[in-house]
Amino acid sequence: MTEFTIQIPDELAQRLEPLQNRLPELLWRLLDIVNVPITIQPTVNPETTNIPAVYQEVIDFLIKGPKPEEIINFKVSFQSQTRLQELLEKNRSATLSQMELAELDVYEQLEQMMILLKARAYSAITEHDF
């Protein structure tokens, strides 16, 4: 793997710090968005990017192409629910590290996405009932 060094403003460095383990993945996404031609394919190993387990759990669920009823009934594992409770408790007591804050943000983003998915799934089911 190649090491790449850049100079960035301190404010940007502070904002990127919680995401430091995901920077290679995020750079690949940025390249996809701006359509910069690249000659090699990314090799992102989930175990080396510190993707929270709950994120992988939701991806694994969605990759199976669940039916609307399965989406509505989906819940993350007990382990993920327990981890969320730990993060929320640390947040209440103001003892979250930067990495934990980033992880809590992932939970929040996934929750918003699942709310939207469940609403669409419910809508799809009710449309077929009429």
- The per-residue pLDDT for range 53-72, each reduced to its tens digit, is 888 899 999 999 999 999 99
Cα-based torsion angle of the residue sequence 110, 111, 115, 118 in order, rounded to the nearest 10 degrees: 60
Residues 35, 126: Cα–Cα separation, whole Å: 39
Domain residues for the domain of 93 are 52-130
pTM higher than 0.75: no
How many domains does the chain fold into? 2
Whether residues 59 and 5 fall in one domain: no
Q: Provide φ and ψ at 95, rounded to 5°.
A: -120, 20
Q: What is the pLDDT of residues 16-38, one digit of tens each?
A: 778 777 777 777 767 666 664 54
Whether residues 18 and 72 fall in one domain: no
Whether residues 45 and 58 fall in one domain: no
Q: What is the structure's pLDDT at 114?
A: 93
Contact 55, 110 (CB under 8 A): yes
Q: What is the structure's pLDDT at 6?
A: 77
Q: Provide φ and ψ at 37, rounded to 5°.
A: -65, 135
Whether residues 86 and 115 fall in one domain: yes
